[in-house]
Amino acid sequence: MDRGLFDNKSHSDFFGGYCTWAVYRPGNGKFDVEDIDTNLCTHIIYGFTGLGTDNTIQCLDPWNDLYDGGGKGALYRFTGLKSKKPSMKALVAIGGWNEGSEKYSVMVSDPAKRAVFVNSVVNFIKKFNFDGLDFDWEYPANRGGIPSDKQNFVSMIQELRNAFAPYGWLLTAAVSPGKSTIDSAYDIPAVASNLDQVHVMTYDYHGAWDPYTGLNSPLFSNNLVDKGTDNILNANWTINYWISNGVPRSKIIFGMPLYGRGFVLDNPSVNGFYAPAALPIPDGPYTRQNGTWGYNEICEKFKYEAGWTVVRDSCYMSPYAVKGNLWIGYDDQQSLRAKGQMIAAMNLGGALIWDMDTDDFRGLCHGTTFILTKTVIDAMNGPTNLMPTPSYPCRTDTTLTTTSVSTTTATPPSTKKKMVYYCKREGYNADPDDCGVFHQCVYYTETGWQDFVQPCAPGTGKFALRIIIIKNMTIIGHYFKFFFKNFTIHYFFTKYFSIQ
């Protein structure tokens, strides 16, 4: 499957999501624009851009996005990949979970602000040679939004669609998998009629916000353990709900995660589904965000550490792995093959993987690069009579992993709570103990603070800070002041804490 899978099969679209912060990951986890295999994708998505205070689309990481000031120019290099495959479309995504919701709510509520935004998007797409926009507002009427967001979102995408029409650009949106959010956020028929494709994010059904274990992206429900509304927390239910409420199958893009969500078990002997787990799994060596491991981190754990038990449920169809007090639910070749087969059987528009940079993209585990991506593509372009079905009564099969790399006994995982940075304000915050990372803090009414740990850009740690000395002046921003005679020294922090 190493050759371009779309050379002879092209009835399903395949969207490869790229998170730009992957360029800052260490070692074998580092992933840059040129690591994208263009042979595999009909579309690629650049994530993310954000919404500025002036209601325009803006770069979130100018040093990486642009060439200005010696930057890396990733935006230009990303769309430049089309020279390798002219039929491929490049979209830019705006939003994402870390961007929040409230400022988008404010923008779409005002026709004048919407007009400013639309004009800025048109100019942005022209400047960087994109082929469209993926609107990833998470989510209208939620997380600080207001009920009228539901209609204002429709107005927003109508205006974008009208502005895009003369250029033939694509307009897509990433949408929620959860019923309560779907019902409050989207006028589904209107959304469907104004978008070229609807990217249904069938993941994050369970995670560290829960006090118990659960799969990140189960395909079906398990009637033996799912109670109450938990039986709708699965991809099959979500996809069918969007279809039954008015989205044509051809516009449904099945979003799949190439990462898992994990927990620290309260009691290692109680380690099945819905097992008590108050803490997130410690961060992995590449993604470095507790509660989440990329598939490349998971498969390398299996390769280098003996003693992991992989459990596969015949109903959920997605596996989890447990070792000591560590528990991680994820997707692998088998579960993603079933999801690809569902796309073919249901005649859906295609697949979105989120994201390419957490696949086994170097082939270190499987000897083949992008093994999960290729599995999805092969399955969704295969036979249409292989609709996956859960096997009742639900049962589990277990496999004990071994390693041929090292015979050293693995150190038992510690139950000691890892020291974490406690958020005190929203936005970007320095780490008091580690100058190599920063914290993006978001406050949710339902669950309180969430801390997204991100690596600092190269050359912006504490030893690279540039001090601006300004006589008798005040700079508005987040800064520390030290007074020396007539001078005020301002440490003015940007996203990666370099002084501007």
Nearest to 232 by CA among 181, 291, 294: 181
- Residue 244, C-beta contacts closer than 8 angstroms, at least 6 positions apart: none
138 is known as an active-site residue: yes
User: How many angstroms separate the most distant Cα atoms in the chain?
Assistant: 79
Cα–Cα distance between 352 and 336 in angstroms, integer?
A: 12
Residue 88 in tokens:
């491929």
Question: Long-range contacts for 63-69 (Cβ within 8 Å, ≥24 apart)?
Answer: 63/457, 63/460, 63/496, 63/498, 64/20, 64/23, 64/457, 65/20
Catalytic residue, candidates 138, 159, 297, 305: 138
Neighbours of 371 (CB within 10 A): 20
Whether the Cβ atoms of residue 442 and residue 429 lie closer than 8 Å to each other: no
Catalytic residues: 138
